[in-house]
């Protein structure tokens, strides 16, 4: 492992360099615990300053209880200021509303303080599912900017999004604004990689030229042809919520409404 690489604590991710900005799609409180507890445990054990910004369904006190089960001497880390657990209102909306530029500045200040106190860098995670629909444009622009901040500092950032609260276009926004995306399906952690990020961008271009099929209900293969994707990608994206589908019959065959695919291609 090179000096600049850090243990993520997440098996499927492995070692990561400073400047890594990635995200997690979750559906349950348990999904958050499965990723964030080992993530922060690794940071504490490797002399990193840690900042955990919480929101429902895993708030500050519940997060402490979950982390303490993995880090027996958690109280010692809290006392010496190596880890802080905050409610999102203490970080993202301190002025009563979300101000992206203000939050970006505070991130850089937090990293400077961590280095000044002798820590190797800053490891942070924030649950972004507090946002309202009206905040999405500002939040999307913030994520684009925070990528640059994290990439130029000794920082690692992990953003958590509740999959059930996101529209397909918003899922695409999140994936494109992070270097790596994590999701959990049937108890198994999976990643959305850079190849799939490029495919999402290609779809944005394809929507300008696509010729619509007259069929109303499409199979996986037909949907793949319609979108210009591999069928396995269509299956995967339907499983994690990027594409909307129905499952029919005893074997759960996926079917896609033409109008849903048309809406997907029209998304900005």
**Which pLDDT tens digit goes with each residue over 182-211?**
987 666 777 776 545 555 555 555 544 444
pLDDT of residue 206: 52
Q: Are residues 126 and 182 in the same domain?
A: yes
Q: Are residues 15 and 47 in the same domain?
A: yes
Q: In CATH, what number is assigned to the domain containing residue 232?
A: 1.10.1660.10
Q: Are residues 218 and 175 in the same domain?
A: no
**Which pLDDT tens digit goes with each residue over 219-229?**
898 888 888 88
Contact status, residue 109 vs residue 74, Cβ threshold 8 Å = no
pLDDT of residue 262: 81
Q: Are residues 182 and 205 in the same domain?
A: no
Q: In what order do the strands lie in the sheet with 21-26?
A: 83-87, 49-54, 122-127, 155-162, 21-26, 180-185, 188-192
What distance separates the 2 farthest-apart alpha carbons in the chain? Answer: 65
Name every residue whose Cβ is closer than 8 Å to that of residue 211 and which is 6 or more positions away in sequence.
Answer: none
Q: In terms of residue numbers, what domain contains 252?
A: 199-266
pLDDT of residue 267: 66
Domain stop point among 149, 176, 192: 192
Domain stop point among 148, 167, 192: 192
Chain mean position to CA 34 = 14
pTM listed for this prediction: 0.75
Q: Is the pLDDT of residue 171 over 50?
A: yes
**Which pLDDT tens digit goes with each residue over 36-54?**
999 999 999 999 999 999 9
Q: Are residues 131 and 239 in the same domain?
A: no
Q: In CATH, what number is assigned to the domain containing residue 147?
A: 3.40.50.300
Domain stop point among 160, 192, 224: 192
**Which pLDDT tens digit goes with each residue over 3-22?**
569 999 999 999 999 999 99
Higher-confidence residue of 249 and 238: namely: 238
**Which pLDDT tens digit goes with each residue over 121-147?**
999 999 999 998 888 999 999 999 998
């Amino acid at each position: 492992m090179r000096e600049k690489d850090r243990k993520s604590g997440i098996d499927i991710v492995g070692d990561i360099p400073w400047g890594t900005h990635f995200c997690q799609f979750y559906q349950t409180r348990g999904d958050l615990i499965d990723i964030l507890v080992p993530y922060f445990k690794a940071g504490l054990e490797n002399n990193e300053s840690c900042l955990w910004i919480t929101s429902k369904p895993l708030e500050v006190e519940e997060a402490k209880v979950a982390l303490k089960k993995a880090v027996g001497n958690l109280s010692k880390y809290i006392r010496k200021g190596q880890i802080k657990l905050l409610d999102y209102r203490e970080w993202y909306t301190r002025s009563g509303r979300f101000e992206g530029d203000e939050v970006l500045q505070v991130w850089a200040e937090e990293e400077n303080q961590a280095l000044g106190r002798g820590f190797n860098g800053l490891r942070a995670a924030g649950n972004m599912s507090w946002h309202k629909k009206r905040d999405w444009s500002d939040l999307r622009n913030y994520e684009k900017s925070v990528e640059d901040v994290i990439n130029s500092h000794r920082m690692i950032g992990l953003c958590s999004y509740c999959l059930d609260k996101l529209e397909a276009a918003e899922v695409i926004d999140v994936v494109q604004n992070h270097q790596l995306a994590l999701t959990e399906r049937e108890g198994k952690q999976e990643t959305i990689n850079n190849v799939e990020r490029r495919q999402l961008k290609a779809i944005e271009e394809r929507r300008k030229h696509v010729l619509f099929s007259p069929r109303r209900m499409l199979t996986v293969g037909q949907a793949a042809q319609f979108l210009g994707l591999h069928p396995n990608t269509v299956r995967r994206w339907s499983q994690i919520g990027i594409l909307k589908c129905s499952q029919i019959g005893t074997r759960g065959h996926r079917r896609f409404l033409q109008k849903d695919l048309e809406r997907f291609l029209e998304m900005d």
